[in-house]
């Protein structure tokens, strides 16, 4: 198991992007969270097997209406989640 953090910038807020990411994560049985950040980007923290996380990252590009300009992935210490949730962020 591995946990990664993904920072995604571009036109990624107010286009249903977080819901799309949650659907993909649930389909792949990935646990974690996704949230909007005040700077207009989106942060994802995801835990699963490495090969599943690689597939997850590639599938994110297929979310409709979002325009991804940059995606950075950082390895994190292993975090345990019960499910994959959309966190509400006050921006």
Q: Tens digit of pLDDT for each residue in 5-57? A: 999 999 999 999 999 999 999 999 999 999 999 999 999 999 999 999 999 99
pLDDT at 43: 97
**CA dist 57 → 7, 20, 41, 91 (Å):** 11, 12, 16, 25
CATH, range 2-87: 3.30.70.100
| Pair of tokens at residue 29 | 């049985």
Q: Which of 11, 29, 36, 65 is catalytic?
A: 36
Angle at 4 between CA 63 and CA 7, to 5 degrees: 50
29 flagged as catalytic: no
Q: Specify whether the CB–CB gap between 46 and 31 falls below 8 A.
A: yes
43 flagged as catalytic: no
Q: Specify whether the CB–CB gap between 45 and 21 falls below 8 A.
A: no
pTM above 0.85, yes or no: yes
Q: Which of 18, 22, 23, 69 is catalytic?
A: 18
């Amino acid at each position: 198991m591995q946990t990664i953090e993904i920072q995604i910038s571009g036109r990624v807020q107010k286009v249903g992007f977080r819901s799309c990411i949650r659907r993909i994560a649930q389909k792949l049985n990935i646990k974690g969270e996704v949230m909007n950040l005040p700077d207009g980007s989106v942060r994802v923290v995801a835990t699963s097997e490495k090969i599943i996380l690689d597939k997850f990252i590639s599938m994110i590009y297929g979310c409709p209406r979002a325009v991804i300009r940059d995606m950075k992935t950082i390895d994190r210490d292993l975090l345990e989640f019960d499910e994959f949730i959309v966190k509400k962020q006050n921006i």
